[in-house]
Amino acid sequence: MASGGEQKVVLITGCSSGIGLRIAVLLARDELKRYHVIATMRDLRKKDRLVEAAGDTYGKTLTLLSLDVCSDDSVRQCIDSVKDRHIDILINNAGVGLLGPVESISMDDMKKVFETNFFGTVRMIKEVMPDMKKRRSGHIIVMSSVMGLQGVVFNDVYTASKFAIEGFCESMAVQLLKFNVKLSLIEPGPVHTEFETKMMEEVAKMEYPGADADTVRYFKDVYIPSSIDIFEALGQTPEDIAKCTKKVIESSRPRFRNLTNSLYTPIVAMKYADESGGLSVHTFYNLLFNFGSLMHITMSILKCLTCSCLRRRTISPD
């Protein structure tokens, strides 16, 4: 048990793999045992990887519950099963991606992304927020993305879902401040996960009915190779994001926005440097369509831009 008080109850969504799994294990392995982690996932048949990574913390500082963020009943039942419905820290990590030309994506598939990434997060916050406000205590963490700040071509719907949750949280943070409840966004750039790797492999092979031949060619022959270059040059690991998240949780004055990758600071800053929006749009256009062959060099230059002044604007895993 942590000295100086009881363990904080931390509920995390989307823990079957990737970032959610790593956050759950990192907090459960805290040397001071400050956290009781409730790791959740939609399908408990996918628990093996988490249980293995948790090791001897499983059943002690880490427990497992079933939770589907897209279901009102599932969310309510999960929170009801927690003692006194008491959650100190809610980490909204569950999310899905969607990539490709918009013309070839069904409206139903678009709605599924928003149902998980936006409404799923809102559903969780609505369920735990009343008790936090009543206690005048609590911390809500939302796993957003740099794509919640800067749009990325061919990620139109995913980006829109992250912009939506950023706007929701920016509005909600003002109210919660009055109740002494903290709200923090974690904004990673590219993260090396099996999910991302598998998605890249699949989209390169898919057909895209409804999209014209030029658009499909730009997507497969220009965007995909460039995206792979970016992942290789700028990508962080799920462990990096977990360490950043732990830092935010343990900060006495946690920031509202927390970019995890200092290499993205100039990219985000560029958007706000030109109120017309043209600078960022034309820069990304040129990077993708006019200087695609120089992408490797561009990534190297971006790496060199990492300096102390940029790092201060991010939350570092180190």
Binding-site entries: 14-42, 68, 145, 162
Cα 115 → chain centroid: 15
Please give the sequence-ordered ranges of beta strands (E in DSSP) within 173-220, or none if there are none. 182-187
- CB-side neighbour CA atoms (13 Å) of 291: 12
CA distance 207 to 198: 16
Q: Which residues are annotated as a binding site for NADP(+)?
A: 14-42, 68, 162
Q: In what order do the strands lie in the sheet with 89-92?
A: 62-66, 35-41, 8-12, 89-92, 139-143, 182-187, 257-259
What's 221's DSSP letter?
Answer: I
Q: Which residues are annotated as a binding site for substrate?
A: 145
235 and 261 in contact (C-beta within 8 Å)? no
> Which residues belong to the active site?
158
7 and 16 in contact (C-beta within 8 Å)? no
Please give the sequence-ordered ranges of beta strands (E in DSSP) within 75-233, or none if there are none. 89-92, 139-143, 182-187
CA distance 242 to 55: 17
